[in-house]
């Protein structure tokens, strides 16, 4: 199998957020120690998020030591993923922005999820951005039509990771990460 060689130093995390399904968080690890990609699944927290009391970690990373999530510990899992990404040298988080949900209530809830991720990422020290699916898909050469773009994302994600058992959301998180890493103006 041919593996695609990427010609940039990875610095970004790609996130495909979910509402009733897990967020998918992906980044390319800079050291190939047998696990060149980090891929996490985190359920969206219930309720509002508020991160507090950040401190400097051993590598100068911002490590959030306190989270108030109205009794929901899922925010801690998201922070754990973000702290691991920071330790791997990632400094930028790219979150997929959404189109329109089936109704205003769903779209408002998704905006809350995206804002919660943004807040947690910034509390760790990341710069953040939102990217619409059409933007990253066309930037990767996939076009903007949903079904062919999703198929192309799956093919590329399988090629770069070597994993054949990825689901659609994992593939999109990986491709969002790749797209963000190919934006030189965003590199720290």
Residue range(s) defining the domain that contains residue 70: 12-182
By three-state DSSP, how is residue 101 classified?
coil
Considering the domain boundaries, does residue 48 fall inside one? yes
**Domain assignment of residue 129, yes or no:** yes
Burial of residue 182 (CB within 10 Å: 0-12, 13-18, 19+) is middle
* Residue 166, in any domain of the structure: yes
Q: How many CB atoms lie within 10 A of CB 144?
A: 12
Match 């120690």 to its residue by tokens: 33
Asked if 96 and 62 count as a contact pair (C-beta separation under 8 A), the reply is no
**In this structure, is residue 92 part of a structural domain?**
yes
Q: Does residue 1 form part of some domain?
A: no
For the full predicted model, state whether its pTM sits above 0.85. Answer: no
Within a domain: 188: no
The total of structural domains in the chain comes to 1
Q: Using CA atoms in the order 58, 59, 64, 66, what is the torsion angle rounded to 10 degrees?
A: 0
Tens-level pLDDT at each residue, the chain (188 residues):
334 444 567 899 999 998 878 889 999 887 655 568 888 888 766 544 443 333 333 333 333 333 344 445 667 788 889 999 999 999 999 999 976 667 778 788 888 888 889 999 999 999 999 999 999 999 999 988 889 999 999 999 999 888 888 999 999 999 999 999 988 776 66
Distant-in-sequence, close-in-space partners of 7: CB < 8 Å, separation ≥ 6: none
Here the CATH number for the domain that contains residue 103 is 3.30.420.10
Please give the Cα distance from 159 to 149 (Å, whole number): 15
C-beta separation of 96 from 172 below 8 A: yes
Instruction: Number of helices (H) and strands (E) in the chain: give both, helices first.
Output: 5, 7
């Amino acid at each position: 199998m041919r593996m695609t060689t990427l010609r940039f130093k990875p610095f970004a995390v790609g996130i495909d957020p979910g509402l009733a399904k897990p967020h998918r968080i992906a980044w390319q690890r800079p050291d190939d120690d047998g696990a060149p990609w980090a891929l996490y699944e985190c359920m969206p927290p219930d309720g509002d998020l508020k991160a507090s009391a950040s401190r400097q970690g051993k590598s100068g990373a911002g490590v959030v030591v306190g989270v108030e999530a109205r009794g929901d510990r899922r925010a801690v899992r998201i922070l754990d993923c973000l702290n691991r990404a920071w330790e791997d040298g990632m400094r930028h988080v790219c979150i997929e922005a959404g189109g329109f949900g089936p109704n205003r209530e769903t779209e408002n809830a998704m905006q809350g999820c995206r804002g919660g991720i943004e807040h947690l990422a910034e509390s760790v020290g990341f710069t953040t951005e939102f990217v619409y699916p059409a933007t990253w898909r066309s930037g990767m050469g996939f076009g903007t039509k949903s079904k062919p773009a999703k198929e192309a994302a799956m093919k590329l994600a399988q090629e770069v990771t070597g994993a054949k058992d990825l689901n659609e959301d994992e593939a999109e998180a990986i491709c969002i990460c790749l797209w963000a890493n190919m934006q030189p103006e965003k590199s720290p």
